[in-house]
Structure 1
Amino acid sequence: MEDTSNRMLIDDFVFYLQVEKNCSKHTIDNYLLDIDDFLKHMKENNIEEFLTVTYHTVRHYLTTLYDKQYARTSIARRISALRSLYRFLLREGKVNENPFAATHIPKIGKRLPTFMYEQEVEQLFSSFDEENVLDQRDKAILELLYSSGLRVSECCQLKLEDIDFSIGTVFVIGKGKKERYVPVGSYALDALQNYIDDARTQLIGKSKTGPHPALFLNFRGGPLTDRSVREILKKRIEKASLTMHMSPHKLRHTFATHLLNNGADLRVVQELLGHSHLSSTQIYTHVTKDRLKDVYMKHHPRA
């Protein structure tokens, strides 16, 4: 009975995340994983309801996580998820206090974003066979990611009509269903036009269910997934003989870093990336500071 009651409260919380907070499926799935882990801890300690959880319960739970040598990032994420759950339950009058409210979130050192150098980008893009159908598609994807700084999920959600070749922009629905228009460079537009006119038409012909509105298609003519794009990028790195770990997000880091290195305003980069807060974009300034110091040391007469 108690488990059913908890599940109903979790369902209400998920509805709140979907409707009021506009959270993505990925974010909600992570919340649920963290909540389920805490439910297991409650069951092991004969705690049946969220209402009866105390600060002492929370401290014991965190101690078990540290004992299991969980990473600080994982612990911080669990605290954040459960604090949000209890904040919601408190608002709805389902609990009397938020036992996670006073919990200290472990300090996490900011990792500097890794990026590609311009020579590496050129080497990557020179490795495509312009006559090959899948190479045309892959080049269009990578050129777009580097040109616009899109998240891989945003890229996979694009439809054909989201590209405006006349003004060189792409319409994007980002995190929290926030909409934005992002400029696309000439190299990416050329690669996209080539892909749409040739490769995409051929891929549509392989579909058994008719044309799909997605911009990027797999070899069966269906929509390309996030995971597929990651695999594509991994193979492209190998073919270009580049020795590095690569992900679509690294191209996003590269996009931002190269803009700032060449004098772009931080607030403009924030808008292009779709960041809600400037603090999310400021991490890239640590990377560009290294370049500034390098330029200073090379060119100042008394450096």
Structure 2
Amino acid sequence: MAGPTAGAKGVKPPVNPAWRWISTFLDAIAAEAGAARNTSLAYGRDLKDFAEWVAVGGYDIATLDRMTIEAYLVHCDTQGLSAATRARRLSSIRQLYRFAFEEGWREDNPGLRISGPGKSKSLPKTLSVEEITRLLDAAAGHGRNPPDRLRNTALMELLYATGMRVSELVTLPQAAVRGNPAMILVRGKGDKERMVPLSPPARAAVADWLNALDAREAAQKAAGKPVSKYLFPGSGADGHMTRQSFFVLIKAMAVAAGISPAKVTPHVLRHAFATHLLAGGADLRVIQTLLGHADLGTTEIYTHVLEDELKDLVFNHHPLAKLPGKPG
């Protein structure tokens, strides 16, 4: 008598061990690790492709070795998948086999010692010194009234002079810049603090804006209205200009400067600060400190050559560090 065939009434086809493993793994990370839906879906897509390749090759997911996983990665490469995608798929396979090891399904993790494809590093988008100059000029003329134009100038001068993140810029307290300091304290990621120097143009722009801000706040106090502690106040609940508002503002200034707004973001100005200093001869470790990077490797993306010589002053290298017509 012939045995049961797949699809016969009341008979289920044999379950591929790979699908059982993957299903159990996905259920586990969703329940135990609290993985987000998108994370689970990403794991599922990667492991589905791997399981199909395993099945077509006639391999057994329970016994395949490191060389087989490497062969799969070669297959992904021949399919034209990017290094980032191949690295993500290897990570998914490692996680699956780590789970299998912990569950006692395997005695090892065959993906553990495989060197994944390195992520290619590309230089961040930046702007030329000439484009930055046009942006600063546009800021000085952009705004509904003189105080707004002074604020916009201070925003742009500070961003380019310090390389601050936009979140650091919009939350900068007035107290940090009172007294015309040559250095200001910036609170960055993880509440880590660092000191950054202010160029003479930035100090002048901040001083002009503070004068206008003081006059505005005096009028608010006289009217019984509260004033903000931030250098760049906003009407929202946080009391400061929002990142989104500044993003829109900088795009408008790019248009006014005759630069494609697609090229200009707050982060691009941060990159410009770093690349222009580096081009001027500043040491990479100085730039690392100024940007607030915890790891020098993050800063190294700006150059292929690390200079050994440390420079004493940032102002010697910054292309816009001097006020027009005045000595440094």
Same fold (TM over 0.5): yes
2: distance between equivalents of 1:217 and 1:70?
A: 47
CA contact 2:160–2:270 (8 Å) conserved in 1: yes
Query: Which residue is equivalent to 2:292?
Result: 274
Whether 1:118 aligns to 2:132 is no
Matches within 5 A, 1:21-40: 35-38=39-42
1:238, CA displacement in angstroms?
A: 0.2
2: distance between equivalents of 1:140 and 1:219?
A: 19
2: distance between equivalents of 1:200 and 1:226?
A: 23
Match of 1:109 among 101, 120, 127: 120
Matches within 5 A, 1:52-71: none
Structure 1 residues 163-208: Cα deviation after superposition (integer angstroms, max 9, x where no partner) = 3544322212222332111111111122122222214753794999
TM-score by length of 2: 0.59
CA contact 2:285–2:296 (8 Å) conserved in 1: yes
Query: Which residue is equivalent to 1:284?
Result: 302
1:267, CA displacement in angstroms?
A: 1.2
More displaced stretch, 209-218 vs 173-182: 209-218
Match of 1:144 among 138, 151, 158: 158
Query: Which residue is equivalent to 1:156?
Result: 170
Match of 1:178 among 169, 187, 192: 192
CA contact 1:170–1:183 (8 Å) conserved in 2: yes
2: distance between equivalents of 1:153 and 1:79?
A: 34
Change (3 A) 1:269 1:132: same
Change (3 A) 1:99 1:136: farther
Change (3 A) 1:201 1:107: farther
Q: Which one has a bigger Cα radius of gyration?
A: 2
Query: Which residue is equivalent to 2:228?
Result: 212
More displaced stretch, 214-223 vs 201-210: 201-210
Whether 1:234 aligns to 2:248 is no
Change (3 A) 1:134 1:266: same
2: distance between equivalents of 1:156 and 1:94?
A: 49
1:141, CA displacement in angstroms?
A: 1.2
1:117, CA displacement in angstroms?
A: 1.9
1: distance between equivalents of 2:272 and 2:291?
A: 12
Structure 1 residues 138-179: Cα deviation after superposition (integer angstroms, max 9, x where no partner) = 221111110001111221232222235443222122223321
Match of 2:277 among 245, 255, 259: 259
2: distance between equivalents of 1:231 and 1:76?
A: 35
1:271, CA displacement in angstroms?
A: 0.8
SS, match of residue 303 in structure 2: helix
1: distance between equivalents of 2:44 and 2:292?
A: 37
1: distance between equivalents of 2:172 and 2:89?
A: 32
Change (3 A) 1:212 1:263: same
TM-score by length of 1: 0.63
The root-mean-square deviation of aligned C-alpha atoms, in Å, is 4.7
1: distance between equivalents of 2:276 and 2:242?
A: 27
More displaced stretch, 186-195 vs 166-175: 166-175
Change (3 A) 1:239 1:70: farther
CA contact 1:113–1:287 (8 Å) conserved in 2: no
2: distance between equivalents of 1:176 and 1:255?
A: 22
More helix by share: 1
CA contact 2:284–2:306 (8 Å) conserved in 1: no
SS, match of residue 180 in structure 1: strand
Structure 2, unmatched stretches of 5+, are 1-23, 50-61, 308-328
